[in-house]
């Protein structure tokens, strides 16, 4: 950005604040030490969920519908059954080709909670 006082390109952003559809940047010129603020307004809302607003249809995909899913719903049910039979997470993970932390999250319903 150019300095508004001396038109120098030797400027730095010292602070950035994000508000709704705006970004406020507080800048400083390193040559003349002039400080100024820029406000960028966006026509399209930034990404992220807004309370009370319906999510985009792509955000509603769960489980097998996600393109990168390794497991199926039947695999998840099998993992939970094996864990209830006191099999270790490491053994279950090796059987399904996933990490043992993933098995833990499935068993504790932090992942695949809809199944």
**Into how many domains does the chain fold?**
2
Rounded to an integer, what distance in angstroms lies between the CA atom of residue 110 and that of residue 100? 14
Question: Tens digits of per-residue pLDDT, 8-65?
Answer: 899 988 888 887 778 888 999 999 999 988 888 776 655 555 666 666 665 677 888 8
Check which CATH number belongs to the domain holding 79 and give it.
Answer: 1.10.10
If asked whether residues 3 and 29 sit together in one domain, one would say yes
Question: What local confidence, expressed as pLDDT, does residue 52 receive?
Answer: 64
**Residue 109: C-alpha distances to residues 2, 59, 112 (Å):** 52, 19, 6
Residues spanned by the domain of 14: 1-45
pTM across the whole model:
0.51
Question: What local confidence, expressed as pLDDT, does residue 55 receive?
Answer: 63
């Amino acid at each position: 950005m150019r300095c508004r006082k001396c038109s120098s390109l030797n400027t730095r952003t010292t602070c950035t604040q994000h508000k709704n559809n705006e970004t406020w940047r507080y800048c400083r010129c390193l040559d003349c030490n002039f400080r100024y603020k820029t406000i960028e307004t966006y026509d399209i809302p930034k990404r992220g969920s807004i309370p009370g607003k319906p999510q985009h249809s792509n955000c509603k995909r769960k489980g097998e519908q996600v393109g990168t899913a390794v497991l199926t719903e039947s695999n998840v049910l099998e993992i939970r059954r094996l864990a209830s039979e006191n099999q270790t997470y490491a053994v279950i993970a090796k059987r399904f080709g996933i990490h043992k932390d993933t098995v833990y999250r499935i068993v504790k319903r932090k992942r695949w909670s809809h199944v």
